[in-house]
Structures are given as C-alpha cells and as structure tokens.
Chains A and B, each alone.
Chain A
Amino acid sequence: MAEFDGVDRRSSHRMDKSITLPPDEIFRNLENAKRLAIDIGGSLTKLAYYSTVQHKVAKVRSFDHTAKEAASDNIYEISVQEEITARLHFIKFENAYIETCLDFIKDHLVNTDTKLIKATGGGAHKFKDLIEKKLGLKVDKEDEMTCLIRGCNFVLRNIPHEAFVYAKHADSEFRFQNTHPDIFPYLLVNIGSGVSIIKVESEDTFERVGGSSIGGGTFWGLGALLTQTKRFDELLQLASKGQHTSVDMLVKDIYGGSYGSLGLTGDLIASSFGKSATTNKEFSKEDMAKSLLHMISNDIGQLACLYARLHKLTRVYFGGFFIRGHPVTMHTITYSINFFTKGEVQALFLRHEGYLGAIGAFLKGAEEDNPNQYSWGENYAGSSGLMSVSPDLNPMQRARSGTFDMLEMDRLERKLVNLPLLQDPSSYIPDTVDLTEDPLAREYWLYCFEEALDGVVKRAVASQPDIPEAVERAEKFRHKYRDKLQTLRQQPFAYGSLTVRSLLDTREHCLNEFNFPDPYSKIKQRENDIALKYYQKAVHALDALSWEEKHFALVRGVLAGNVFDWGAKAVSDVLESDPEFGFEQAKRQLEERPWLVDSYDQWLERMKGPPHKCSVFFVDNSGMDIILGVMPFVRELLCRGTEVVLASNSSPALNDVTNGELQILTERIAAMDPVIQAGLKDERLVLVQTGSSSPCLDLSRLDKVLAMVVRERKADLVVIEGMGRAIHTNYYARLSCESLKMAVIKNSWLADRLGGKLFSVVFKYEVPPPPTAVMTTAEEDEENSVFAP
C-alpha cells in the first residue's frame, strides 16, 4: 500500500550542496516555468513544470503574383518566424541535491506569477518547509495514488513504446509494447514499502482493489535484519549474487524430484526459508537476500495474478521503488507472473515509471490548462532515455550520484488519433524492422546516420547563410545527435524500440533544438520552381498516350519522382554533384519490370474497374516527386471520379513537402490545370495535414481532422508513397480498404536485404481479405521473411 518510498532518514539529511548545476542542460526554460509540481520519494525527487519554448519555425508565403512576379523567380517566400510552443519538463535527481536544486530554481524562476507548487510522494511533508522557504511558494499536497494514476494514463496515452516486457535473457532485454488505442482498463501494481493494487477503468475511475503489506519495505527491512546490509540497492546487489536454493526448501527437497501429478517441478520453492528451519548451518547474506527477493516477488506476482483474474484484466503494469528499473526485481516479478498465469498475463513495466507521481501532480495543478485535451510527444532531444540496466554497462547503480534524468514532452499542435482505416489498430506496428531486436540492421543504420551527419550539418549551415552563429549551432547539433547515436549504440532501447523512424525523428528533434527548423527549405523551393515549369509539358505528354501506356507512365512518374530524395545518401550525392539531374534521368534509373515487389498488373486491372470513392494520398518529397509524379497521378484519379485527400506533413522533415508548401504548389498547378482547378473548387481535391513532422508515417498518430475527413468521405483507397512511409514504416500495415504502397529503394544495404538492388521498385497493391478470411497466406509468409535477418 502506500507508495511511500521508505525514506532513509540518514541519507536524506546528507545534503550535498557542493554540486553546481549546468544551467543549459537541466531545469531548462525555467524563466517562464509555471505549474510546478514536485514528487519526493525515498531517495529521488522528481520536479515537473510547464514552460513555453520560443523557437524558430519555417513558414512559406505565396507572393502576390500580380505585383511582384518579376522580382523573383521564386513561387513563394520562405521566412523563419518565432513561435511559442508549450513543453513539459520533468527532472529527476537524488534527494541529496534538493537544496541546491531549489536554490537554482529560485534564481531562475523569474517571469512567473506562480504562487503554488503541487507536491506528492512520501517525502513531500518532510520537505514542505524547505520548499516553502526556498521558493516562496505554497506547497499544496496531492494524494499520491491519484497522481500516480493520472501520470500513468498520461504516459500510456502520449508516449508510444512506453510499456515494455522485460526478458532477461533475450537479445534485447526490453520488448516494447504497442500503444493500444484504448489504454483502459488496466491494473497498476505499485510496489512501494507495501503494495497497492489499483484497477483503472477510465481517466477518473479507479479503485484500490487490494494490496499487500509484503512489499519493498519488507524486502528492505527484513533484508537489513538478516544481512546487516543497510541500503536497498546493496541488498539487491547481494540478491543478484546469491543462490536461493540453499535457503529455500524446494519441491525436490521434499519429494526427491518433481511432484508430477500437480505439475510442480522439483526446482519450485515449496517453502521459502524452509531450510533455515531444519538446519543449523550459517547461510550467506547473498543467499538469504536472494531467497527473500524471490519470496517477495513471487508473493506480489501471485497476488497480482489473482487480482487480474478476479477483475478479468490482462494488462498489468508494475511500478514503485521496488521495481524502478532494477533488472533483478523486474526479472523475478516477470518470472512469477509467467509462472502463475502461464502466460495469460504479462508483467508490463513503464519507461517513465519514476515520473508518474510528478506528472500526475503536475496535471492536477494544470487542470485549468486542460492538458489532456492535447496530444503530447516525447522530445528525444531533451529526454535522457532509459538507462541501461545491463550489468556490464551499468552495474546496478542507476541514475545515481550526480546524474540528472530528464523527460521533455512537447505539446503538439493537434490531437492525434488512429487512421480509421487500420484493419486492427491494436496490433498495428508502424515500423517494419525493430532495430532493437536486429543487431545487424541496428549496426548498419547507426553507422549510416553517423556517416550522414556531416552532410546534415553542412546543409543546416547552408540553410542559414546570413546568420554567422549558425555554424556554432550546427556544431552543437552535431554533438547532440552524435551523443544520441552513441547512447543508442549502447542502449538501443533508450527511447523505446529503436527504428529507422526513431533515428530520423531524433535527428529532427535535435535540429529543431538548435533552431534549424527547415534546413532543406531553399532546396525545396528551388526544386519546386523547376518542377512546376515542367508540369504542363508532363501532363500533355501523358494525355497523348494510350490508356494502358498512360497508366504505366503515371506509375513510373510517381516512382521516378520519388528518386528525388535528399534523405537518401545515394541520391543526395547525385543531386549535390549534378544539380541538373532531371526527371527523365531519374526514370532511366528505375528498375525494369518485373519489379522487386510488383502487383502492377492487379492495379491496372483494378483501374479498368469502377472508380474509387475517395483516395487518401500520403505524399513524400517536394519538387519532382510531388509535382511531376504525384500530381499527374492525382489528376487521373480526379478524372476517374475519385475524390483525393492529399495528406502531407504539418512541419518540415528533410525535403518532404509540407502542408504549407503544398497549398501554394497546388494553387499554382490549379492555375495551369483545369482539372486540378475544378477539383479544388468542388472540394473533390482537399489538402489535409497529417499532424506529423517525421519523414516516416505512424498511422496511429494522425491529425484528428484527417481522420475525420477520411471517415466522412468514406475513403476506400490509401496510397502511401516513399521509402520512409511505405518501406521503413507501414510495409506490413494492414488496411481495411485497398491500399497502394509505392517506393524506390534508394539505399543499397536495404535493397540488398530485400533481395533487390539500388533503385529497385516496390509497388504493392493490396486488397483487404473479406472479413472471414485468414490473414496468413503463403504470400504473406514470404513477405514477412523478406526482412528477416
């Protein structure tokens, strides 16, 4: 019960005032901080606040054609503006630093009218006076259990890969879970000094259904008595070295072997500490600690299972200081749960478990801002990530001595939801390869991103030619991202499953962090200009073709356009050295049919049939891709009577076309093309943003408006274009309507792995099986094997 982290009174009085805090790195953006909340546990303090971050964003604005057309060749102007966004900061540090930290906060908390700090945790009352004195804020205590649940809901809802299964002996110790669209109901087992078992049914409905007095305090207290070891961590360390079989009475000690008729194997513990009742020998501290750990973990696991069964719940999350990232306890709890439920229930742990109370207290204090109406995203640039628990890297001691752990979350512009067309939202995994579980692929991609770093830095500097300090910022970016890559090399699980998408997103976050909101803006602008000039010609050429030729040319056009991708090194080298590299050359690079994945014949057959009602087209790059590849294709769909929803990124990522740019481009094309013109006018062609700023695509986190449009228009065709969106992600995505995934493989390693070569083509047209069909066809098995190492 009670999430009271037993406070070790002695150590907590040992204040360390000597440390100096690097102000740029922790407690960031304190100037405007408000809604402060603090969660003080037995050994760690967690601080939360809400702040606004001023950063640069790239905007495009159409020129007034009539007056200024002559002034510039450009179709639009690019400006960098200051934008203020909201960010949540969470910092975790040892209680020993609390005084220093409070002083620091006081000095930096300037522009705030905050009068109050929300507090929770067992240590909150103890430090109340200190906080009030130092900060001059009134401490307002919040119920810890309520905070815990609020925090838990928040991270489950907003952080993909928050929950994981722990598998000690697996290649990656952590197996991250997909975010379920509906997080409720679940059971939270909080193991503090005692155990509380809470059933959570909705944001505001939860109930403490049970608990146990045998918890972390029992391990600690009894362990201290038995082994004369004072610290909790030391006890765990002892336990990890011990052998419980010398202390416990096993089934085989009673039976001489297993108890077959009950299926109890000989190694099961029949009686914890049973041997110490019958022999007089001395037991080692390690063995007793291990036996104690097993006893307590098993007992908690058993109770958790009984409660899960009684309440018919399969999702059981474990938290509290007994767990808090300790591999030994995660392992024993997992083992126990597996034993008692035979796999029906999985023990789930949370990456940000330590922050739940602070997040919850913050949310309580921020109710008037209504934080739950927004979607939030973990900022990879500002978050520390999960520490390694591997004994080789980090033997037992986590987040100790002077380290500050941080979590930052950005408030997203829009509320994100599932694409309504996912066949099974709960099993949807955006990413094609989990690099956490694929060491070869991980090695390659980490190397690849490291290699590309110079180019990215150069591009970033070039994007801000008039700003001298850009070079310095770009170097900071370089260090930050290189550090992230180093961390990920050691701890691939630091931010959930490692994927190409997460590597790309981390890079975008780091670029934004150092105010490079859109390094490719000028390139995109130039390429859009050039491509627009060819648009009419391209359309005329297509119109001259026979029906079959035209359809093939349209598809080849999309594919050729997709070659123009600054995100792919093989291509950016070419583009860099040969600015004249053109659309026709790109077409010549394309693989001849049959393509690596080729369902073009089925697609063509489908095109002979009735038009689709509405197509959602997830577009990729600026320039040739969108203008000469995608637009003619869209035009054809419109001509066939299909409505088209063009879904593009909300903010920049690489040279991907953003919604802002696409608005302008579409207008310009409409001016030349009556079909597009009419489409826009009749709203049969609409432009909607995805809510994303990633070069990849997570169909479970899309702008609510897009989902609404898709639903209202009864979209029956989803087109996904490009390597990031159709290969790195969504390659296996199952949709409930027809789908078309088109991409050119612009990376020779990936091509090799897929059994193709550079510029191989993936053209994957899929029709969902009728509702009763079984999903695994031979064809699918074959596909799945494609990515197997």
Chain B
Amino acid sequence: MAFNGHRGDDDEVVNHDEDETPTKQQQQQQPPRCAGEAMTDDPTHDPADGGTPADELSATGTRTSRQDSMRKSRPPFPWFGMDIGGALSIRRYLTSHTAYGQTGLRDVHLELRDLSLCGRTGTLHFIRFPTHDLPAFLQMVRDKHFSSLHTTLCATGGGAYKFEADFHTIADLELHKLDELDCLIRGVLFTDSAVSSDPASECYYFEDPSDPERCVQRPYALQDPYPLLLVNIGSGVSILAVYSEKDYKRVTGTSLGGGTFLGLCCLLTGCSTFEEALEMASQGESTSVDKLVKDIYGGDYQRFGLPGWAVASSFGNMISPEKREGVSKEDLARATLVTITNNIGSITRMCALNENINKVVFVGNFLRVNTLSMKLLAYAMDYWSGGQLKALFLRHEGYFGAVGALLELLHPS
C-alpha cells in the first residue's frame, strides 16, 4: 500500500545546459550545437549572449564557460539528468525549439541562466513529458544517434528501473540509476543555493495564509534549512525528514497524491489532463460536495473546538442521491483537490509533530501551477498548528529529482 515514494512522477528531463538533445533540427550525425559547443567549450559567452532569446536557447541550450582545471574530468557536453516517474501527468521529452515532440514542454520560466556548474557557465533547462511517451522519446533518441554523444545517462525515478532495458535496447544508452530520494534532496539543496542570490528566490511562502485577500507569496531565505520535512507530491507522496544533505530518512508516504487527484477527476468529470482538472477545480465549490461540521452541528462543534466550516466528511453529501444530482463537474474536481490536499496536509502535520520539525518544504509536480493547493497547504499548516508550522514551496516544484541526477553526473557521490 502505500506508498510510495516515487513520486516523481513526473518525469522530466532536465537538461543542463546546452543542449539538448535530440532536437529536431539536428542532423543525424551531428547533434548540432550541443556537440559543437560542448567540444569547444570555449569561454565565449558574453553576458548578452548568455541571455539568448528563448527560442534559441530551447533548441540548443546555452553557452558555457569553463575552467580548465575541470575539463578533463567533465563528462561530454550536453549534460542531462532524468527523473522518470509514475506519470502524474504528462510530460514529454525534450527537443527542439519549442516543441519537444508532441507532448514535451520546456518550462522556460524556470530556466536558470548563467549558472556556473563544474567550470562552465550555462543555462539549466527544464523539460517535461509524460512517462507514457517514453517509448516515443527513446525512438527519437535512437534516430538522432544520441548515443554517439553519451553512452551513460544519469536517471532516477522508478522509470529508471522499469525502462532500463528499453534504454539499452532501443536507444543504446546505459542508464546510471540513482536513488530518487537522494537525487531529490540533492536537487533541492543545489537549486536553492544556486539561486539564492536571485531576487526571485527559489523558496517562498505565503504570508497571511488564513486571509485569501491578503495572502501573498513572499520569498523565503532557506539559509539554515535543517532539519526540514520535505514533502514530495507526485503521483503519490513521500515525506522525508532531512537533517543534512546526506542524512535523511523517509518518514512515511501516502498513496493519496497527485495521481489520485487526476485519476479521480478523470473518472468523475471525464477530463484527461492535469491542467484541465485544475482548471475545473478552480471554478468549482467543494462545499456542496463535502459535508461540513456546520452541516451536522448547525455551527461549530464547540465540545471539540471544531469550526463549522471544517470539512467533516469529504464527499459526505454525495451519499444523498438528490445532492449527487445537484453538483457540477467543477464542484467535484474542486472537492477532489481539496480532499487530497488537506489529507496530505494532515499527514504532513502529524509527521512534523512526530519528528519535531517545524519547517516543511512541499515540492513535486502536483504543485505545478497549482496555487490552490499551495494556499490550502499553507493555510492548513498554519491553522491546525496554531502558527507553529511553516509551509515552504520551491519554484522548481517537480524538477529536483532530475537536477539531482544531473549533479550526480558531474559530481559522483
């Protein structure tokens, strides 16, 4: 049961820099730029250049600079890390300019530019595609002779294990499989430190979470992160207590995660994508679906200090046939989102109490473009702990596993 850890869910590919992989424009034998640039490694880059136009970057990544001393030990250029999860949603591979195959998406807004890594400066790109498109991805990798550049690929997530043979037989690539929780933590810590100088801080929280009007996102300096509870919400959820980069444990997990939200939404509303489900949820009301404390007690249940607005029974009103007829798909999507999110919140809160940790960082693809859930989590942490617990979020929600895998490529641990 339960499970899971993997959350990863998502799968994305990160590619560090430069390049990219099989872009469609590249020719067979010569994965264009990536190759060239990688080889040359010349220190060109001027700042202006660094900020190349988006489209161009996407295609090729960026340029890089490097330091001589590191050259030899560095793997060949474009650097990749992959995290192949259970497939929360949908994501696809990377490729060229804008379109990474049919379903791949590059999250341009997350790019980390002018990032120095291993003696090079470049841009870190974040690209995602659905796990079920992996076969197509592999096909493309083979067609583009990606293996002429790389023979080993650092990958994490359950898919690294599940599809290892496919990588080998179809794409002639060896996977260097990495533990996903190791990668996750490494990725989180690296990303946070890499952008700590950036005003658009990696880490943020919601101020006044109890007041929807005033609730605003604020940067948070995660300078002294330990101990922290790291909650990775992918298809399922893993909760880790992190005491240092190397010292962490998986406290527990739950199978009620992003996959459950999407799965139930698909069944209840007929939608088919995460974005669609979220969109519906944002337009619905969960109070017609859920039974609230006040629906039972007429107000607060004072004996136990339960406010009337608290949900007494998720989907509890749906036991009545009349009420089932009166709800919209949007309401059902919203109730599903609220149910799953609150449940993650309460398990997290219990773990924080049991582990005696008061800082919680929520990551994972479930939170991508999901401000609704983030605010709910922020509020739940704050309200039920009487302000003792702080919910923190990271901009690169679902990409930390991939970043961790990439780092492993550069700095084998």
* Interface locus among A218-226, A381-389, A449-457, A630-638: A218-226
Assess whether A225 is in contact with B86, with CB atoms less than 8 Å apart. no
Assess whether A306 is in contact with B350, with CB atoms less than 8 Å apart. yes
Interface-centre pick from A4, A208, A261, A269 (highest chain B CB count, 10 A): A269
Size of interface on A: residues with Cβ below 8 Å to B: 74
Q: How far is the CA of A756 from the CA of B254 in the complex (A)?
A: 57
Assess whether B347 is in contact with A303, with CB atoms less than 8 Å apart. yes
Cβ distance A96 to chain B, nearest Cβ, rounded Å:
18
Q: Is A251 an interface residue (CB 8 A)?
A: yes
Assess whether B256 is in contact with A272, with CB atoms less than 8 Å apart. yes
Assess whether A217 is in contact with B319, with CB atoms less than 8 Å apart. yes
Nearest chain B residue, comparing its CB with the CB of A257: B161
Assess whether B267 is in contact with A2, with CB atoms less than 8 Å apart. no
Assess whether B4 is in contact with A270, with CB atoms less than 8 Å apart. yes
Assess whether B313 is in contact with A303, with CB atoms less than 8 Å apart. no
Assess whether B315 is in contact with A218, with CB atoms less than 8 Å apart. yes
Q: How far is the CA of A167 from the CA of B219 in the complex (A)?
A: 52
* With known contacts A221-B316, A271-B258, A276–B346 Cβ distance under 8 A: no
| Chain B neighbourhood of A294, CB < 8 A | 1
* Interface locus among A6-14, A676-684, A731-739: A6-14
Q: How far is the CA of A2 from the CA of B300 in the complex (A)?
A: 12
Q: Is the interface of A mostly helix, strand, loop or mixed?
A: helix
| Chain B neighbourhood of A604, CB < 8 A | none
Q: Is B291 an interface residue (CB 8 A)?
A: yes
Q: How far is the CA of A226 from the CA of B158 in the complex (A)?
A: 29
Q: Which of A287-303 contact B (CB under 8 A)?
A: 288, 294-295, 298-299, 302-303
| Chain B neighbourhood of A214, CB < 8 A | 256, 314, 339, 343
Assess whether B264 is in contact with A273, with CB atoms less than 8 Å apart. yes
Q: Which of B293-341 contact A (CB under 8 A)?
A: 293, 296-297, 301, 303-304, 306, 310-321, 324, 332, 339
* Interface locus among A56-64, A277-285, A742-750: A277-285
Assess whether A2 is in contact with B254, with CB atoms less than 8 Å apart. no
* With known contacts A194-B316, A251-B158, A270–B3 Cβ distance under 8 A: yes
| Size category, B interface | 35 or more
Assess whether B291 is in contact with A217, with CB atoms less than 8 Å apart. yes
Q: Which of A227-251 contact B (CB under 8 A)?
A: 230, 232, 247-249, 251
Assess whether B6 is in contact with A255, with CB atoms less than 8 Å apart. yes
Cβ distance B389 to chain A, nearest Cβ, rounded Å:
14
Q: Is B250 an interface residue (CB 8 A)?
A: yes
Assess whether B256 is in contact with A295, with CB atoms less than 8 Å apart. yes
* With known contacts A278-B132, A295-B260, A302-B254, A268–B3 Cβ distance under 8 A: yes
Q: Which of B6-64 contact A (CB under 8 A)?
A: 6-7
Q: Is B104 an interface residue (CB 8 A)?
A: no
Assess whether A256 is in contact with B161, with CB atoms less than 8 Å apart. yes
Q: How far is the CA of A230 from the CA of B323 in the complex (A)?
A: 12
* With known contacts A2-B301, A221-B317, A271-B86, A277–B5 Cβ distance under 8 A: no
Assess whether B313 is in contact with A2, with CB atoms less than 8 Å apart. yes
* With known contacts A256-B158, A271-B86, A208–B255 Cβ distance under 8 A: no
Q: How far is the CA of A310 from the CA of B350 in the complex (A)?
A: 8
Q: Is A396 an interface residue (CB 8 A)?
A: no
Q: How far is the CA of A211 from the CA of B311 in the complex (A)?
A: 10
Nearest chain B residue, comparing its CB with the CB of A274: B259
Q: Is B287 an interface residue (CB 8 A)?
A: no
Cβ distance A267 to chain B, nearest Cβ, rounded Å:
8
Q: Is A708 an interface residue (CB 8 A)?
A: no
* With known contacts A6-B319, A283-B267, A303-B346, A272–B6 Cβ distance under 8 A: no
Assess whether A270 is in contact with B5, with CB atoms less than 8 Å apart. yes
Q: Is A259 an interface residue (CB 8 A)?
A: yes
Q: Is B268 an interface residue (CB 8 A)?
A: yes
* With known contacts A6-B313, A272-B256, A1–B306 Cβ distance under 8 A: yes
Q: Is A210 an interface residue (CB 8 A)?
A: yes
| Chain B neighbourhood of A221, CB < 8 A | 289, 313-319
Assess whether A299 is in contact with B353, with CB atoms less than 8 Å apart. no
Q: How far is the CA of A248 from the CA of B235 in the complex (A)?
A: 11
Q: How far is the CA of A41 from the CA of B323 in the complex (A)?
A: 20
| Chain B neighbourhood of A218, CB < 8 A | 313-316, 339
Assess whether B313 is in contact with A193, with CB atoms less than 8 Å apart. yes
| Chain A neighbourhood of B303, CB < 8 A | 143, 145-146, 208
Nearest chain A residue, comparing its CB with the CB of B304: A208
* With known contacts A193-B313, A213-B311, A254-B235, A225–B318 Cβ distance under 8 A: yes
Q: How far is the CA of A196 from the CA of B324 in the complex (A)?
A: 25
Assess whether B254 is in contact with A217, with CB atoms less than 8 Å apart. no
| Chain A neighbourhood of B162, CB < 8 A | 254-257
| Chain A neighbourhood of B347, CB < 8 A | 302-303, 306
Q: How far is the CA of A213 from the CA of B311 in the complex (A)?
A: 6
Q: Is A336 an interface residue (CB 8 A)?
A: yes
Q: Is B122 an interface residue (CB 8 A)?
A: no
Assess whether B296 is in contact with A212, with CB atoms less than 8 Å apart. no
| Chain B neighbourhood of A224, CB < 8 A | 318-319, 321, 324
Q: Which of A616-635 contact B (CB under 8 A)?
A: none
Cβ distance B280 to chain A, nearest Cβ, rounded Å:
14
Nearest chain B residue, comparing its CB with the CB of A307: B350
Nearest chain B residue, comparing its CB with the CB of A198: B304
Cβ distance B176 to chain A, nearest Cβ, rounded Å:
15
* With known contacts A1-B312, A218-B313, A255-B161, A193–B87 Cβ distance under 8 A: no
Q: How far is the CA of A433 from the CA of B5 in the complex (A)?
A: 45
Nearest chain B residue, comparing its CB with the CB of A255: B158
Q: How far is the CA of A278 from the CA of B256 in the complex (A)?
A: 16
* With known contacts A213-B313, A254-B159, A257-B161, A272–B263 Cβ distance under 8 A: yes
Q: Is A215 an interface residue (CB 8 A)?
A: yes
Interface-centre pick from A278, A307, A310 (highest chain B CB count, 10 A): A278
| Chain A neighbourhood of B73, CB < 8 A | none
Assess whether A274 is in contact with B263, with CB atoms less than 8 Å apart. yes
| Chain A neighbourhood of B306, CB < 8 A | 1, 208, 211
Assess whether B318 is in contact with A272, with CB atoms less than 8 Å apart. no
Q: Is B155 an interface residue (CB 8 A)?
A: no
| Chain A neighbourhood of B86, CB < 8 A | 249, 253-254, 270-271, 274
Q: How far is the CA of A277 from the CA of B264 in the complex (A)?
A: 7
Assess whether B252 is in contact with A262, with CB atoms less than 8 Å apart. no
Q: Is A425 an interface residue (CB 8 A)?
A: no
Assess whether A254 is in contact with B158, with CB atoms less than 8 Å apart. yes
| Chain A neighbourhood of B343, CB < 8 A | 212-214, 299
| Chain A neighbourhood of B260, CB < 8 A | 271-274, 295
Q: Is B185 an interface residue (CB 8 A)?
A: no
| Chain B neighbourhood of A319, CB < 8 A | none
Q: Is A340 an interface residue (CB 8 A)?
A: yes
Q: How far is the CA of A536 from the CA of B282 in the complex (A)?
A: 97
Which of B264, B314, B320, B354 is the one whose CB lies under 8 Å from A213?
B314
Nearest chain A residue, comparing its CB with the CB of B289: A221
Q: How far is the CA of A193 from the CA of B255 in the complex (A)?
A: 21
| Chain A neighbourhood of B5, CB < 8 A | 251, 259, 262, 264, 270
Q: Is A360 an interface residue (CB 8 A)?
A: no
Assess whether B313 is in contact with A269, with CB atoms less than 8 Å apart. no
Assess whether A8 is in contact with B319, with CB atoms less than 8 Å apart. yes
Q: Is B290 an interface residue (CB 8 A)?
A: yes
| Chain B neighbourhood of A479, CB < 8 A | none
Q: Which of A717-743 contact B (CB under 8 A)?
A: none
Assess whether A271 is in contact with B158, with CB atoms less than 8 Å apart. no
Nearest chain B residue, comparing its CB with the CB of A230: B321
Nearest chain A residue, comparing its CB with the CB of B311: A213
| Chain B neighbourhood of A122, CB < 8 A | 296
Interface-centre pick from B179, B236, B293 (highest chain A CB count, 10 A): B236
| Chain A neighbourhood of B346, CB < 8 A | 210, 212, 303
4 A-B pairs with the lowest CB-CB distances in the bound complex, closest first: A221-B318, A254-B158, A273-B263, A271-B259
Q: List 29 A-B contacts (CB under 8 A).
A: A1-B304, A1-B310, A1-B313, A2-B312, A192-B313, A212-B343, A214-B314, A214-B343, A221-B314, A221-B319, A247-B263, A254-B157, A254-B162, A255-B6, A256-B158, A256-B161, A262-B5, A269-B236, A270-B6, A270-B7, A271-B86, A271-B260, A275-B263, A276-B266, A277-B235, A299-B254, A299-B343, A302-B347, A310-B354
